């Protein structure tokens, strides 16, 4: 499967600490679930996922996000 065709990515309940910058190549990604992992940081490239409409994130340890806002240039 090509990552360009992936619409949903569920990676919850693991021990993942980071996401590779290459996630930007998943250009059609609409939903990502990263809840209950051990993230230390998120790549800045997440804001480049223009089709992303659902971002699910929660965890007890590691970094905490109070507010996630993504600004995109209007076309």
Residue spans per domain, the chain = 3-56
What mean pLDDT comes out for the span 52-74?
60
Check pLDDT > 60 for residue 14.
Answer: yes
What one-character-per-residue DSSP string does 3-67 give? GGG--EEE--SS------GGGGG-TT--EEE--SS--S---GGGGG-TT--EEE---SSS---S-
Question: What is the 8-class DSSP label of residue 72?
Answer: -
Torsion angle defined by CA atoms of residues 1, 39, 63 and 45, in that order, rounded to the nearest 10 degrees = -40
Check pLDDT > 70 for residue 45.
Answer: yes
Check pLDDT > 60 for residue 74.
Answer: no
Across 9-13, 27-31, 38-42, least confident range: 38-42
Q: Is the pTM of this model over 0.75?
A: no
Distance of CA 20 to the CA centre of its chain: 10
């Amino acid at each position: 499967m090509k990552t360009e065709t992936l619409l949903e990515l569920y990676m919850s309940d693991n021990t993942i600490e980071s996401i590779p910058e290459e996630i930007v190549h998943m250009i059609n990604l609409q939903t990502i679930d990263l809840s209950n992992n051990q993230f230390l940081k998120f790549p800045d490239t997440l804001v480049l996922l223009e089709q992303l409409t659902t971002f699910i994130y929660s965890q007890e340890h590691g970094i905490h996000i109070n507010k996630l806002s993504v600004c995109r240039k209007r076309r």
